[in-house]
Amino acid sequence: MRSAAEHLAQVLALVAPPEPRVVPLAEALGEVAALDVRATVALPPFDNSSMDGYAVRAADVAVATESAPVGLAVAGESAAGHPWSGTVGPGQAARIMTGAPMPAGADTVVPQERVAATAGTVLVDAPAPEGQFVRRQGEDARPGDLVVRAGTMLGPRHLAAAASSGVDRLMVTRAPRVAYLVTGDELVAPGGSLAPGQIFDSNAVYLGAALRALGAEPVDLGSVGDRPEDVVAAVVRAVEAGADLVVTTGGASVGAHDPVKAGLAPAGVTFLDVAIQPGKPQGLGRVGGIPVVCLPGNPVAVAVCVEVFVGPAVRVMRGVPEPAWEPRRALEAWRCPPGREQVMPVVIAADGVRPATAGGSGSHLAASLAAADGLARVRAEADEVAVGDIVAVRRFTA
């Protein structure tokens, strides 16, 4: 039996990021940067004022006091987008606005509320140290400096940083196309009528929503019942349609009616047991060169396997980091299956976690899954979790 860590490594070895694409900034919100974004210019591109006031020479006002203010002749004005081309000489000042370039000769700014202005003259009643209220060229970033790191999901602030750096288009990862297929003659679409032995299909709804939440482009292959030839035909359609990954649910165990295993094993998919509970029977391989991940059919097992295996694969294809599993204290005791890593749906509180339902990690508890905030992982060597034990916990990512 393969460990969950070994199986994850095999899953990740199968997938690769799709070819990136270039988009204008206006279309980049929510995308993932495929390359580092670097400044093309210095930020700010020139020395400028952070206040409305007067650009002066610090030496001219070094002896200014309330009782003996220094008078300076106003020689010009520098406004944002309209710099003054003159030079501030000894005994002179230039009116300056916030964001306006510092004129030549001036080395400090006196805010307008600290001066008395008359026609053509300004009185300064205190020294202004050199560099006061001056934003220096390149103090935010220099040409070539890293502005947005590859793998960043682009929000408004990242787009603004790129724009201020002179970048108008970004290389972003393409959302991977993940096709999904559910199997089982017992499945009925929600809203239909159940015949004896039938259940409503929750896996298709879950997978479509989960893949979208993970940032993938979901492709619904539908439900094909228990016919191996229909499974193969659906996967071939996904391959021909350019899917980057195919995920199937159900029919992957050792039962008499396991159509996924019967159809895809001859096509190159290996079926095996993974030491995880829920989620033991799984398959992994390629069909037509496209990675195929085969999951069990029970709804909780599907949710667990998406969090533990499919989610990491999608994040590798998108180029985004894997969220961490964090240590939390168990607030209740529970039993664990021997020899398999347990992944337990849990309620997460400030002081620890507890199982979301009395049924624990039963793979069939689809309705009860909604009560959980996330999952707790318990090592395969443990046969129980005692109150106070530390378990690895993560909130649902899909």
What is the share, in percent, of the chain residues with pLDDT greater than 70? 96
pLDDT at 210 over 50: yes
pLDDT at 37 over 70: yes
**Amino acid identity, residue 130?**
E
Taking each helix axis as running N to C, give the angle between helix 4-14 and helix 311-318, from 0 to 180 degrees, rounded to the nearest 10. 40
Say if strands 245-249 and 290-295 run parallel, antiparallel, or are unpaired.
Answer: parallel
Give me the residues paired with residue 14 across strands: none
**Mean pLDDT to the nearest integer, 205-215:** 95
pLDDT band at 254 (very low <50, low <70, confident <90, very high): low
* 130-152 residue pLDDT tens: 999 999 999 999 999 999 999 99
327-395 CATH fold: Beta-clip (2.40.340)
- How far apart are the C-alpha atoms of 374 and 143, rounded to whole Å? 43
3-state secondary structure of 395: strand
Query: CA dist 372 to 63, 147, 266, 356, 364, Å?
Result: 70, 38, 38, 5, 14
pLDDT at 257 over 80: no
**Amino acid identity, residue 149?**
R
Residue 42's pLDDT is what? 95
Domain-by-domain residue ranges, the chain? 2-17+174-318, 21-43+139-172, 48-135, 327-395
Q: 52 or 259: whose pLDDT is higher? A: 52
21-43+139-172 CATH fold: Molybdopterin biosynthesis moea protein, domain 2 (3.90.105)
- The kind and range of the H/E element at 108 are strand 108-111
**Amino acid identity, residue 374?**
G
What class, spelled out in words, does domain 2-17+174-318 have in CATH?
Answer: alpha beta
Taking the CA atoms of residue 94, residue 98, residue 102 and residue 103 in that order, the dihedral angle to the nearest 10 degrees is: -30
Q: What is the pTM of this model?
A: 0.82
48-135 CATH fold: Molybdopterin biosynthesis moeA protein; domain 3 (2.170.190)
